[in-house]
Chains A and B, each alone.
Chain A
């Protein structure tokens, strides 16, 4: 089973920031938080990952709480093309750990509206 909990759906106005929460209260010290998204039935698209520190890249920012039990993915200026299912995944990010498999939950369906 997935080790994360996400709201099933969220709405966001175009141009506004989308803040997607994720709870991972049982995360282990060596586990990373990964975010992927899936647009329609396309392949999951990697967004960002982090261990302890906040991370930012050209797509998004990831804010991880100090106790690492929750995190928030921020899309700073959401567009209609950001409408997708967003998955928060906790993983050791290492092939030696269960072959590196990612366990997907149901994710959050984000709808960006004009």
Chain B
């Protein structure tokens, strides 16, 4: 079974802190994604990566950065946490469509509260 593991299920941080959300996948997937989920807004793409050290902005990258030093790990960084970044964060991974059947596999989510 494909496993996408997020480092924390719940996290509480203070305004202004630098926050790291970690995601690891064990199936050698090329693509990795970070989404933010808010009630009534669905899932919105923050950043994605289609290879090591490659990253692309999604729809709402402001206030976030990412790091992908190894293929299996994709980190989301909140440079200076703010209360409007309180949300559920979901990590996902997938194969390139040319290398296999495509679906995105998701982690269990991190519910981040910024106080």
Same complex for A and B? Answer: no
